[in-house]
Structure 1
Amino acid sequence: MSVQDDVDDVGEFAALLRTLKERTDRSYGSLARRLAMNTSTLHRYCAGEAVPLDFAPVERFAALCGASAEERLELHRRWLLAVAARQRPRQASAAGTAETGTDTDTDTDTADGPVESPAEADSSPGLPWYRRRRVAVGLAAACAVLAALGSLAALPDGRRASAGDRPGTAAPAPSDTAKTEAPDGKSPSPTPSGTSPAPRRSSPSATPKRLKPSPSPSVRTTPPAGGTASAPPLTWSADSQAWKLGCGHDYVVAKPPEQVPPPPVPQDAGVWAASQNAVHGGETLVRLSVQGRTDTAVVLEALRVRVVGRSAPAPGNAYAMNQGCGGSITPRSFDVNLDKDRPIARAVAGSDTGTPIPAVRMPYRVSARDPEVLLVNARTQECDCRWYLELDWSSQGRTGTVRIDDAGRPFRTSGIKGLSRYTYDTSERRWAPYS
């Protein structure tokens, strides 16, 4: 069997792994944690750079990605061929050395075992891998010394390098104060000494009188109450103008059809709703993106709902943004029934052409490299409800809660039961009663 056949067997195995991975909305890091393996290990499997000697992690990966029985059988067949290809001795280009290239789950992100680059193999074909690696390390060290001497010689007027002049060290730059909001209205903590103070920005919660829907997602990093403790180790953004499947949504507008402009494209929904003083009709979909400030993991412990106002449904007409959505992908989400006395955020599984997508389960971990996107679907039939979310977190012995709202004010959802409902007739270019 030729070397090309071996490469094809490994590539087909890796290609199927990538196909299964792309069905999920998770990163390599998120999947690797649930598989009890390192991120770099999983990435090498999917890239065709390594093949696991045991099928157990592959079986767990397939189950996590929702693979069918036929797909698991095909994955096992391709794995057998890939293992055989990697364990078959290959003829080296110069010295006839053999390598296997197989891998296990026991490596780490910083020490991946005897893996050599093509440059190392070509430079020393007659040396074993550990000798070649030792030569490569020596060459790298020599290059680093020469680079340092060259940078020192390049300094003008014979100056001695300062901390900001050292190679690889960036000069300090004025920092821009992050947009923060304290629940008690206090301003963010001052900028560190030695940097230019950033312009003071008004907090969204300081202007709660603005009642129009937000034309863009809100982004904040909310400090704990009192403003004395350091900011939480996470950031978030919330888009309350998401539409179901990207096409379906209702707005309540207190205007007759002839005064309402045509429906916008989904990316302009916020501007359109603000211009019409529109209220979410029947349901509000909030797309919540959460990530850590650093690589340190932050655990999302719980997601809660707070209803701060109930009244009769808003008057007006219901205007549908579509004539029906196609597609068969239902994203997993949190479902909230605002008509309950004590509504809760209930995790709901999704579906991809009949393949189940597991529901989101708390607790969840995020970091700067591993963000998460949560979809909250809040619905009502009986009230004009004003509400917000609370997200509990913990990290390195600290705990806290951040408020998720619509740029400093509660989200708003109003029932449409009993209202006249219209859809846009594209041929007549006018709003017509919904049939």
Structure 2
Amino acid sequence: MSAHDGGGSGGEVAEFAALLRALKERTDRSYGSLARRLGMNTSTLHRYCAGDAVPLDFAPVERFAALCGATPRERVELHRRWLLAVAERRRPRAAGAAGAAEAVQGAAGGPDAAVEGAPVPEGASAAGAPPPPPSPPLPGRPWYRRRRVVVGLASAGALFGMLSALPAPPDGQRASADGPGRGGRPTVSGPAKAGAPERRGDSPGPSATPASGRPSASPAPRKEPGHSPAPGTASSAPSGGAQDAGGLPFAWSVNSQAWKLGCGHDYVIAKPPDRVPPPPAPQDAAPWAAAQGAVHGGETLVQLSVQGRSETAVVLEALRVRVVGRAAPVEGHAYAMDQGCGGSITPRYFAVDLDKDRPIARAVAGSDSGTPIPAVRMPYRVSAKDPEVLLVTAEAGSCDCRWYLELDWSSQGRTGTVRVDDGGRPFRTSGIEGLPRYMYDTLERRWGPYS
């Protein structure tokens, strides 16, 4: 569960927290009892009620209100207070961005200085093109319209200078924008050009090239391009939105920093306890782990969200695991993000044993207070109205494994494979057996031996 954290509570945040406490006090349950019923950590619920954090999603707040017996009028008021609290927590960030924009604009000498005081492009000067004449002020037009005229004239002068500097081809014909032509024929550009490099957005197939080690495009016919996100930092967070790949009939996003039940997770860090900061909130795990050079310890939880782009069903045919590297477990210390989680809800997931020579994604059923939650059986259908979140739990005990997922799909006679990885890099999971393990003591404000 995501939340905004900040030091101190503002007015709207305090009002929202007070309403949560009022609902909680009308029950005879403790924070721990309510948290178990809601499937969240006790400390997380306490931060919400104390005004130290605001959930980014209203769904847990709505479940909390229903559990406390809130009336419809109280639920509407709670939703209104939640919107105001989220807006208040976001306000300092927006103000900081606006201040930075004003500082840049002031350093440039006002809105017109960046355009009117800009130097003549280097290409235009070398070609001997005269600078564009100053545009006289047009009566009745605001400054931003006059700036468009100046920018247009400057761009035209620069383009004229660069075209004048281009050498003429042997046959007396000037090269086109797409490349040199011959005999007046248009040249072939894009993926159809012979010898053109493969686009990064194409989905790699099962084979790997010796030069790069990355999977190459599958030669099978009727395969649609998948999506491989651009490279990011290690242990990157979810992209923040559905991945958009041209031609795919569905959108998807991935979160590689999910914690078990929202609170339990281990990281391996090559630093002593006195040099490791306190554990972050779950939504801040990605930057915290990247700053510490942390590696997932023991297991990696990956949340894959898939939703169709229309009402036409997309069939998810199979979910496969590919291990691209094995090494000895990482040396360092294991740091537990919590002392353990308690809850009555266990989500369904795909279990992966990375220690196997050929690991597979095995569907496992979940449980909701004793009621079984059926496992996701492939093939599985999704559409715009029926999205699905696939949870993959990959465990490693004897290796430092680098791996990624492949999702096969089909829709209306089309088939394809999407590579799911960690921002362009393989996921990474290392065993923690035999490593010193620590947990954070919130009273002593320091890391201590795990008990």
> How far did residue 407 of structure 1 move?
0.8
Matched residue, 2:316: 300
CA distance in structure 2 between the aligned counterparts of 1:240 and 1:291, rounded to whole angstroms: 18
> Are the equivalent residues in 2 in contact too, given 1:388–1:410 (CA < 8 A)?
yes
> Are the equivalent residues in 1 in contact too, given 2:298–2:432 (CA < 8 A)?
yes
Output the TM-score relative to the length of structure 1.
0.51
CA distance in structure 2 between the aligned counterparts of 1:400 and 1:269, rounded to whole angstroms: 32
> Are the equivalent residues in 2 in contact too, given 1:394–1:400 (CA < 8 A)?
yes
Q: Tell me which of 257, 271, 279 is aligned to 1:241.
A: 257
Instruction: After superposition, give the CA deviation of every residue in 1:290-312 in whole Å (9 maximum; x if it has no partner).
Output: 01122211000110000000001
Structure 1 position 231 matched with structure 2 position 247: yes
Matched residue, 2:421: 405
Matched residue, 2:396: 380
Letter aligned with residue 260 of structure 1: V
> Are the equivalent residues in 2 in contact too, given 1:290–1:373 (CA < 8 A)?
yes
1:215-230 to structure 2, matched below 5 A, reads: 215-217=237-239, 221=243
Q: Tell me which of 274, 285, 294 is aligned to 1:269.
A: 285
Matched residue, 2:20: none
Matched residue, 2:439: 423
Structure 1 position 213 matched with structure 2 position 235: yes
Q: Tell me which of 198, 201, 207 is aligned to 1:181.
A: 201
CA distance in structure 1 between the aligned counterparts of 2:404 and 2:312, rounded to whole angstroms: 27
CA distance in structure 1 between the aligned counterparts of 2:324 and 2:423, rounded to whole angstroms: 16
CA distance in structure 1 between the aligned counterparts of 2:233 and 2:327, rounded to whole angstroms: 16
1:12-411 to structure 2, matched below 5 A, reads: 181-183=201-203, 204-205=229-230, 207=231, 212-217=234-239, 221=243, 231-411=247-427
CA distance in structure 2 between the aligned counterparts of 1:220 and 1:408, rounded to whole angstroms: 15
Instruction: After superposition, give the CA deviation of every residue in 1:260-299 in whole Å (9 maximum; x if it has no partner).
Output: 0000111111111111111000000001100112221100
**SS in structure 2 opposite 1:245?**
coil
CA distance in structure 2 between the aligned counterparts of 1:293 and 1:356, rounded to whole angstroms: 30
> Are the equivalent residues in 1 in contact too, given 2:237–2:255 (CA < 8 A)?
no
> Are the equivalent residues in 2 in contact too, given 1:240–1:284 (CA < 8 A)?
yes
Matched residue, 1:138: none
> How far did residue 342 of structure 1 move?
0.3
Moved over 6 A (4+): none
> Are the equivalent residues in 2 in contact too, given 1:180–1:221 (CA < 8 A)?
no
Percent identity between the aligned chains?
73
In structure 2, do the counterparts of structure 1 residues 183 and 374 end up closer, same or farther at CA, with 3 Å as the change threshold? closer
**SS in structure 2 opposite 1:238?**
strand
Instruction: After superposition, give the CA deviation of every residue in 1:352-394 in whole Å (9 maximum; x if it has no partner).
Output: 1111111111111111221100100000100010000000000
> How far did residue 180 of structure 1 move?
8.3
In structure 2, do the counterparts of structure 1 residues 320 and 217 end up closer, same or farther at CA, with 3 Å as the change threshold? farther
> How far did residue 219 of structure 1 move?
5.4
CA distance in structure 2 between the aligned counterparts of 1:183 and 1:289, rounded to whole angstroms: 18
**SS in structure 1 opposite 2:288?**
helix
CA distance in structure 1 between the aligned counterparts of 2:430 and 2:394, rounded to whole angstroms: 10
Letter aligned with residue 201 of structure 2: E
> Are the equivalent residues in 1 in contact too, given 2:233–2:423 (CA < 8 A)?
no
CA distance in structure 1 between the aligned counterparts of 2:380 and 2:283, rounded to whole angstroms: 29
**SS in structure 1 opposite 2:274?**
helix
**SS in structure 1 opposite 2:290?**
helix
> Are the equivalent residues in 1 in contact too, given 2:330–2:430 (CA < 8 A)?
yes
CA distance in structure 2 between the aligned counterparts of 1:282 and 1:418, rounded to whole angstroms: 12
Count residues in correspondence: 233
**SS in structure 1 opposite 2:322?**
strand
Matched residue, 1:121: none
Letter aligned with residue 295 of structure 2: V
CA distance in structure 1 between the aligned counterparts of 2:255 and 2:233, rounded to whole angstroms: 17
CA distance in structure 2 between the aligned counterparts of 1:215 and 1:349, rounded to whole angstroms: 26
Q: CA RMSD in A?
A: 2.3
Letter aligned with residue 297 of structure 1: A
Output the TM-score relative to the length of structure 2.
0.49
Letter aligned with residue 234 of structure 2: K
CA distance in structure 1 between the aligned counterparts of 2:342 and 2:419, rounded to whole angstroms: 34
Letter aligned with residue 215 of structure 1: A
CA distance in structure 1 between the aligned counterparts of 2:396 and 2:240, rounded to whole angstroms: 23
CA distance in structure 2 between the aligned counterparts of 1:221 and 1:245, rounded to whole angstroms: 25
> Are the equivalent residues in 1 in contact too, given 2:350–2:391 (CA < 8 A)?
yes
> Are the equivalent residues in 2 in contact too, given 1:242–1:286 (CA < 8 A)?
yes
> How far did residue 212 of structure 1 move?
2.2
> How far did residue 216 of structure 1 move?
3.5
CA distance in structure 2 between the aligned counterparts of 1:329 and 1:241, rounded to whole angstroms: 20
CA distance in structure 2 between the aligned counterparts of 1:348 and 1:414, rounded to whole angstroms: 22
CA distance in structure 2 between the aligned counterparts of 1:296 and 1:327, rounded to whole angstroms: 37
CA distance in structure 1 between the aligned counterparts of 2:237 and 2:379, rounded to whole angstroms: 31
CA distance in structure 2 between the aligned counterparts of 1:221 and 1:260, rounded to whole angstroms: 33
Letter aligned with residue 238 of structure 1: V
Letter aligned with residue 260 of structure 2: K
Q: Which runs of 5+ in 1 are unaligned?
A: 1-22, 24-178, 186-202, 224-229
In structure 2, do the counterparts of structure 1 residues 286 and 367 end up closer, same or farther at CA, with 3 Å as the change threshold? same
> Are the equivalent residues in 1 in contact too, given 2:233–2:290 (CA < 8 A)?
no
CA distance in structure 2 between the aligned counterparts of 1:219 and 1:281, rounded to whole angstroms: 26
> Are the equivalent residues in 2 in contact too, given 1:283–1:414 (CA < 8 A)?
yes
> How far did residue 213 of structure 1 move?
1.6
